[in-house]
Amino acid sequence: MHAEGASSLAGEHGSWLHFLYQLGVPKWVEEPVLNCWFLILVLGVGLYLATRRLDVLPKSLQNFLEWVVEELQNFTVQIMGPQGKVFVPFIGTLFLYIALMNILGLVPGFLAPTSTLNTTVALALCVFAATQYHGIRTRGLWGYVKHLWGEPFWLGPVMFPIHMLEEFIARPLSLAVRLFGNIFGDDTVIARLGGVAVLNVLLGSYFVALGAFTFLVQAFVIWLAVIFALAQALVFATLASVYIAGAIIEEE
Amino acid sequence: MSYLTALVLAVGFGVPLAALTASLAQARVGAAALEGMARQPEAAARLQFAMILGLAFIESLVIYALLIFFVLMLKLPNTADVLGKIAGP
């Protein structure tokens, strides 16, 4: 049983939300997505309750949340310019949501919702839809096509397919796969290390030291995974804001 | 037999090659960032931010290789089966 645990991929271990499958959730909904619903519930209800009565002179929790929002606003405006203030909710939500989703996978008993392509492709599609919508809304349909055509008019037939490929395939795909690969890889490594550590400790006398060492390595990898979780959220939010800025900013 | 050999070689060499080239590239990013921070310590925060971004981009290329590794790893056969086939009936 423990050898099985040591040799299976991370996605095959479950979370405590597994009971939802007995309650009628269909089988094609993967378990990380159940964790996603849990996080949405906790975040939504929690933050709604936290912002019900806002004081003019904020106390501890409200102060912290205001600091978070202010930092997100600075971050977005820094990349997109002063017109980026409208996008702070979107970019800020992306950053916070993805960071919390990534870290949720490191909490015992949960799976990271971003460790499945379902979640990451959904997020990448949101960014794709946002860039296309804002680009077309700001420039008009013909203006957006001209933007994809490129600046030297005679280079258009070369740049236009490249830009189309980039906008429709390369950017969403790379966003999704980057986030998925990082988080799924981290979680897989941590699960495997844990399995190997348990296996070694259970094997016998001389293997216990190896097991203890593997536990230490796993602890270090978990710390690294926290840092990478935040970094990946930052990268996703930065790229999203850069793409939207590229779609709406008129370079004169 | 050569198909399996090629598959195993691809599984073994994919990620390490990507990691090798990515580490060289990340070393250059880190060195440039550190040099900039040493020249102008007041810009350290902005440089660090840009460095983290650059490192994540390069790392994502290794992640693509890791993805191919996961896909190919699932196509590897059982060692017991292969040894049984080699041993013959």
Say how many residues make up chain B.
Answer: 89
Would you say residue A189 has pLDDT above 60? yes
Structure-block tokens of residue A155: 């280079």
* A195/A207 Cα distance (integer angstroms): 14
Every domain of chain A and the residues it spans: 2-248
Domain ranges, residue B69: 2-74
Can you give the three-state secondary structure of B22-79, one letter per residue?
HHHHHHHHHHHHHHHHHHCHHHHHHHHHHHHHHHHHHHHHHHHHHHHHHHHHCCCCCH
Give the single-character DSSP code of B13: H
Shortest distance between the Cα of A182 and any Cα of chain B, in A, equals 6
| Residue-level pLDDT at B88 | 79
Q: For A123-155, what is each residue's pLDDT tens digit?
A: 999 999 999 999 988 888 888 888 888 777 888
CATH number, position B34? 1.20.20.10
Q: Which of B55, B59, B63 is nearest residue A177 as measured by Cβ atoms?
A: B63
Q: For A73-112, what is each residue's pLDDT tens digit?
A: 999 998 888 888 899 999 999 999 999 999 999 998 899 9
* Nearest residue to A74 via CA among A51, A54, A91: A91
Mean pLDDT within B12-27? 95
| Residue-level pLDDT at A22 | 83
| Residue-level pLDDT at A251 | 63
B63/A234 touch (CB, cutoff 8 Å), yes or no: no
A186-189 long-range contacts, Cβ below 8 Å, gap at least 24?
A186/A105, A186/A221, A186/A224, A186/A225, A186/A228, A186/A229, A187/A10, A187/A105, A187/A106, A187/A111, A187/A112, A187/A115, A187/A225, A188/A9, A188/A10, A188/A11, A189/A221
* 0.90 surpassed by complex ipTM: no
- The pair phi, psi for residue A158, each rounded to 5°, is -90, -45
Residues 6+ apart with CB under 8 A from A33: A113, A116, A118, A119
Mean pLDDT of chain B: 89
| Residue-level pLDDT at A9 | 43
| Residue-level pLDDT at B82 | 83
| Residue B63 within any structural domain of the chain | yes
Percentage of the residues of chain A whose pLDDT score is greater than 70:
94
Would you say residue A7 has pLDDT above 50? no
Structural domain total, chain B: 1
Cβ-based burial of A107 (10 A; exposed 0-12, middle 13-18, buried ≥19): exposed
| C-beta of residue A36 within 8 angstroms of C-beta of residue A111 | no
| Residue B20 within any structural domain of the chain | yes
| Residue B88 within any structural domain of the chain | no
Does residue B61 sit at the A interface (CB-CB below 8 Å)? Answer: no
| Residue-level pLDDT at A4 | 37
Would you say residue A246 has pLDDT above 50? yes
Torsion of Cα atoms, B42 then B46 then B47 then B51, to 10°: 160
Q: For A202-224, what is each residue's pLDDT tens digit?
A: 887 888 888 889 999 999 999 99
| Residue B87 within any structural domain of the chain | no
A182/B52 touch (CB, cutoff 8 Å), yes or no: no
| Residue-level pLDDT at A93 | 93
- Return the number of CB contacts < 8 Å for A and B: 32
Residue of A238, A241, A242, A243 to mutate, interface with B, max B Cβ within 10 Å: A238
